[in-house]
Amino acid sequence: MRQLVRQLFVTAALASPLALFGCASLSESQCLASDWKTIGHRDGLAGAQSSQLLRHQNACMKHGVTPDREAYLAGWHEGVYQYCDPGNAFNVGARGSVYNNVCPEGMRENFYAAYQEGKRIYLAQAEINSLKRAISQKEARLKEIDEEMADITGYMIDAESTPGERAEMLLATKDLAEEQGRLEREIQDLSVDVALKTERLEGLRLSVAAITY
């Protein structure tokens, strides 16, 4: 099946309870409802392996409920078929989710190609986010340095400060000034790197938008 990858941006809404369903044990009410086809469909749509049924079985046994394996697997296969659509594959990769090798052989190649393109977007954005966090940390340290230098200035003009203490504070001020200059240069370099990588990411998004599978 060859389809256009339509969605390039993944929001938190895409990582909905459906995507997390297969990772959680069932509650008592879910076990007692015995809607095993729906449960299987949700797990398949979340990309969970069919062995997830064993976890459900363990969770439901204490409530006296035995899963309907046939109904679960029927729903799971339907869900997996939707999960393995290349358009969804792109989203799975773009939000950094792990692929659990659940796609049938006939869909596996197209899924993985779209998944890899989405993963490229995810990794590029993750790198930018990491750089931005580094900038924020350095900017926070610059604020601390400003406060420390202001405190030192206050101590130096304090009439009770001894000449020895003032000499130590001058050395501390020199060290802080050097650290300040280094941080400012590093922030500048990181900001340039963020701008370049952001530009490349936008180009990557445009190139991926034209890919068909």
Residue 20 has pLDDT above 60, yes or no: no
pLDDT at 50: 94
96-to-44, 68, 88, 91, 180 alpha-carbon distances in Å: 18, 32, 13, 9, 36
Q: What is the DSSP letter of 14?
A: G
Domain boundaries, the chain: 12-119, 124-209
pLDDT at 84: 96
pLDDT at 212: 54
Whether 67 and 30 have beta carbons less than 8 Å apart is answered as: no
Q: Using a cut of 0.85, tell me whether the model's pTM lies above it.
A: no
Residues 46-65: what's their mean pLDDT?
A: 92
Residue 165 has pLDDT above 80, yes or no: yes
pLDDT in tens, 56-110: 999 899 889 999 999 999 999 999 999 999 889 999 999 999 999 999 999 999 9
- Considering the chain, what is the average pLDDT of its residues? 86
Residues 163-191: what's their mean pLDDT?
A: 94
List residues bridging with 212 in a β-sheet: 4
What would the two tokens of residue 26 be? Answer: 């069932």
116-to-51, 125, 213 alpha-carbon distances in Å: 25, 14, 12
Residue pointed to by tokens 């439901």: 60
Residues 133-156: what's their mean pLDDT?
A: 94
pLDDT at 23: 45
Residue 213 has pLDDT above 60, yes or no: no
